[in-house]
Amino acid sequence: MTGSTPVRPRVVLGVGAGIAAYKVCDLLRRLTESGHDVRVVPTRASLGFVGTATWEALSGQRVDTSVFDNVSEVPHVRLGQQADLVVVAPATADLLAKATSGLADDLLTNTLLTARCPVVFVPAMHTEMWEHPATAANVALLRERGVVVVEPAIGRLTGADSGKGRLPEPDELFRVCNAVLARGAAPADLTGRRVVVSAGGTREHLDPIRYLGNRSSGRQGHALARTAVVRGAEVVLVTASSLPDVAGAKVLRIASAAQLSDCVLAEAATADAVVMAAAVADYRPVERSATKRKKTDTLTVELVQNPDVLAELGRRRAPGQVLVGFAAETGDAVGTVLDHGRAKLARKGCDLLVVNEVGEPGHPTGFEVDQNAAVLLGADGSAHEVPLGSKDALADAVWDRVAALLLSR
């Protein structure tokens, strides 16, 4: 019995005239190698940075820039009509302005007008251009129309300049593309919302080398930040993880529970929603040695409790703010995983608690793996089970509930 051929997602990859075009070659490679059918549509000016031969070799498809190329196939209409996703990277200030105004003077801008699929713009330009009021207004209008505009990263730009305007790394852009494809035609329902997400396991140092910590990799928190970006939110990610920055999020790197507490409480003051996915250490050493502790037969370390960040968020939260906590639990003689989760929900005063079972290394959910399963416990007494799947899928389930709560307030 012969199985049917899997349908390959059709992606139009628009390329603007910026030096960051060279990084888009890596994004194209990741898309094609993972089974996407990619048609590259560069602007004519962008070919000064990366030429037609490179795009055709990497995509395995013809590359055109003008509506007068290959006219018999009517590409200026067909490409947009048939695409499952249109991604423009780098999106220059000029391209953003044209897209906002509906100008169509080449194949890419015509494709943008005919596309009825999700559209993602990945701006890259000098900081002054990104911060110009005209660019800011264009970005705001595109987002109002349901377009995903990924915030540029902060870093080295052309020449000796540094600042906001750098193209995010291709691996993270690839993850964003897949997240958008997974959502399909679902609306960007967090547009205009500001959300704060914490991630990773904190480290409480004993000395300059050793620390007390836990097995959290930060993958679930980073997935929550990424899916929030895809859904249109302004995202602040406070992370103790060593994972790469999430494309489109403001990333604040911290190490200890005290640092996490300071950052999250400050950022939460103006947030519509806060999701505490970090695995915050319950205790820290009373004293941190300034030098390496020497090896001895025994070592006694006095510990003190860390601040309860989730409980403090509950006490401080502004009217209408949605608060989500996480509970990594194991059942014991006192109660089941859900028993402990319900007790924590009652203590912390949050709207939603994501309860997931963890175990020793090799356990299929929780720490250090790419998949997860959970039960979402609501303060209203509801319980929604999310079956085993990707951490992105669990993140979307959490944001579904958060979006509904925000609408009801």
Other beta carbons less than 10 A from residue 114's beta carbon: 18
Q: What is the pairing mode between strands 162-166 and 153-156?
A: antiparallel
Long-range contacts of 346-351 (CB under 8 A, 24+ apart): 347/311, 348/310, 348/311, 348/314, 349/311, 349/314, 349/315, 349/323, 350/276, 350/310, 350/313, 350/314, 350/323, 350/324, 350/325, 350/379, 351/322, 351/323, 351/324, 351/378, 351/379, 351/405
Sheet holding 10-15, edge to edge: 37-42, 10-15, 85-91, 119-123, 148-149
* Contact (CB, 8 A) for 252 and 236: yes
Closest CA to 405 of 340, 351, 325: 351
Task: Judge if the upstream peptide bond of residue 42 is cis by omega within 30 degrees of 0.
Answer: no
User: Which structure tokens are listed for 36?
Assistant: 């996407």
Report the SS3 class of residue 377.
Answer: strand
Amino acid found at 112: L
Report the SS3 class of residue 184.
Answer: coil
Query: Residue 36 and residue 174: Cα distance in Å, rounded?
Result: 11
Q: Residue 387 — φ and ψ, nearest 5°?
A: -70, 170
Catalytic residue list: 214
